[in-house]
């Protein structure tokens, strides 16, 4: 049987201190049939030279230099030239445990009906401190409803893209939204009807670097970032129309969506949220759904439904201001 080519896409921006560790962990994987695509996104430190050094050293490394356009545009540039039968993503400050690809690609070769595989990760601070190992129980999820049920909330299927291996065919008509920070979350509604089977693997490990100050996603969320996530979760919420029996999950998803808008308003009290309030009004669960749901915040939602979305937010923020 032919060994599938695995394309690994890594966006690179000012990561001189971390890039060698990342690339070394990829090129030393025991699964050898890979291409590593480094997208130098206009780096201003020594990252550009490091990319070229690795390309000269190993023929499996492909480098693209571009003007800084952000992580989504960099990943899209990688998708445009990727040749692999399977695709995966690694951020340039992160790294992999040995044999991660070998173990999981072996499974995918033996189970070609699987379109996507998720493997474990941990939050890495230093060699002395690796925290929060995310290693859900192994499972095979089949069909749109089962996949969505395990993905809509980000658990056990995580929103993050970098601890997954995908069939290339999933990405044929999918690209990241440039200029948005919720590029991972937005993939759920795009893939839920495309992926027929998803494996949750307990093999391998992705080390996610948590303490880099100039990371693409480091820091508190601004109003714009919260609104960006609001729309990503709104796209997920709309998927519930396909699964009418998932009442509890739908109500929980709405609560999360509404709370995201409240958080956004907290960060910028003078901001205009009328467009988002129209969506909240449109999406608000029926009384029947609220009371039929299990383990949801029925009182909170009932008060909000009676008062109306806008008045409830104003009163809730006033309450928080008084009590903080």
> Phi and psi (nearest 5°) for 194?
-90, -40
The CATH number given to whatever domain includes residue 107 is 3.90.550.10
- In this structure, the answer to whether residues 56 and 189 fall within a common structural domain is yes
- Last-in-domain residue among 175, 209, 243: 209
Instruction: Specify whether the backbone of 300 is left (phi greater than 0), alpha (psi in -120 to 50) or beta.
Output: alpha
Residue 122 pLDDT = 94
- Last-in-domain residue among 151, 185, 209: 209
pTM score: 0.91
Does 307 reside within a domain? Answer: yes
Residue 212 pLDDT = 52
Residue 218 pLDDT = 44
- Last-in-domain residue among 209, 241, 267: 209
Residue 164 pLDDT = 97
Task: Give residue-wise pLDDT tens across range 204-221.
Answer: 999 999 875 445 444 478
Q: Name the residue range of residue 280's domain.
A: 223-322
Does 283 reside within a domain? Answer: yes
Does 170 reside within a domain? Answer: yes
- What would the two tokens of residue 95 be? 């790294």
Residue 214 pLDDT = 46
Task: Give residue-wise pLDDT tens across range 77-88.
Answer: 999 999 999 999
- In this structure, the answer to whether residues 155 and 247 fall within a common structural domain is no
Strand segments (E) across the chain? 6-12, 34-41, 61-66, 86-89, 95-96, 116-118, 121-126, 129-134, 139-142, 164-167, 197-200, 206-209
- In this structure, the answer to whether residues 152 and 89 fall within a common structural domain is yes
Residues in the chain: 324
Does 105 reside within a domain? Answer: yes
- In this structure, the answer to whether residues 261 and 296 fall within a common structural domain is yes
Does 1 reside within a domain? Answer: no
- In this structure, the answer to whether residues 170 and 233 fall within a common structural domain is no
Q: Which residues of the chain have pLDDT under 50?
A: 213-214, 216-219
- In this structure, the answer to whether residues 229 and 197 fall within a common structural domain is no
- In this structure, the answer to whether residues 100 and 131 fall within a common structural domain is yes
Residue 216 pLDDT = 44
Domains of the chain: total: 2
Does 218 reside within a domain? Answer: no
- In this structure, the answer to whether residues 171 and 275 fall within a common structural domain is no
In sequence order, the 6+-apart residues with CB closer than 8 A to the CB of 58 are: 27, 36
């Amino acid at each position: 049987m032919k060994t599938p080519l695995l394309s690994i896409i890594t966006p690179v921006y000012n990561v001189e201190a971390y890039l060698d560790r990342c690339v070394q962990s990829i090129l030393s994987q025991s699964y050898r049939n890979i291409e590593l695509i480094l997208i130098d996104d206009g780096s201003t430190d020594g990252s550009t030279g490091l990319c070229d050094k690795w390309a000269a050293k190993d023929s499996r490394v492909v480098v693209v230099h571009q003007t800084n356009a952000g992580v989504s545009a960099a990943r899209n540039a990688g998708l445009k030239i990727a040749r692999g039968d399977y695709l995966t993503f690694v951020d340039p400050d992160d790294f992999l445990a040995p044999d991660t690809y070998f173990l999981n690609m072996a499974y995918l070769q033996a189970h070609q009906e699987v379109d996507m595989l998720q493997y474990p990760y941990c939050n890495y601070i230093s060699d002395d401190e690796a925290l929060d190992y995310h290693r859900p129980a192994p499972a095979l999820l089949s069909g749109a409803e089962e996949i969505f049920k395990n993905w809509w909330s980000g658990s056990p299927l995580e929103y993050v893209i970098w601890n997954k291996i995908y069939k290339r065919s999933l990405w044929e008509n999918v690209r990241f939204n440039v200029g948005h920070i919720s590029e991972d979350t937005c993939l759920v509604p795009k893939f839920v009807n495309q992926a027929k089977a998803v494996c949750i693997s307990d093999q391998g490990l992705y080390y996610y670097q948590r303490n880099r100050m100039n990371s693409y996603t480091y820091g508190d969320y601004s109003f714009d970032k919260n609104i960006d996530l609001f729309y990503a979760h709104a796209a997920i919420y709309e998927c519930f129309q396909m699964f009418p029996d998932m009442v509890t999950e739908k109500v929980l998803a709405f609560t999360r969506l509404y709370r995201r808008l409240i958080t956004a308003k907290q960060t910028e009290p003078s901001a205009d949220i009328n467009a988002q309030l129209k969506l909240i009004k449109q999406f608000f669960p029926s009384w029947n759904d609220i009371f039929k749901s299990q383990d949801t915040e029925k009182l909170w939602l009932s008060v909000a439904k009676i008062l109306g979305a806008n008045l409830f937010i104003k009163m809730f923020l006033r309450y928080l201001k008084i009590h903080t």
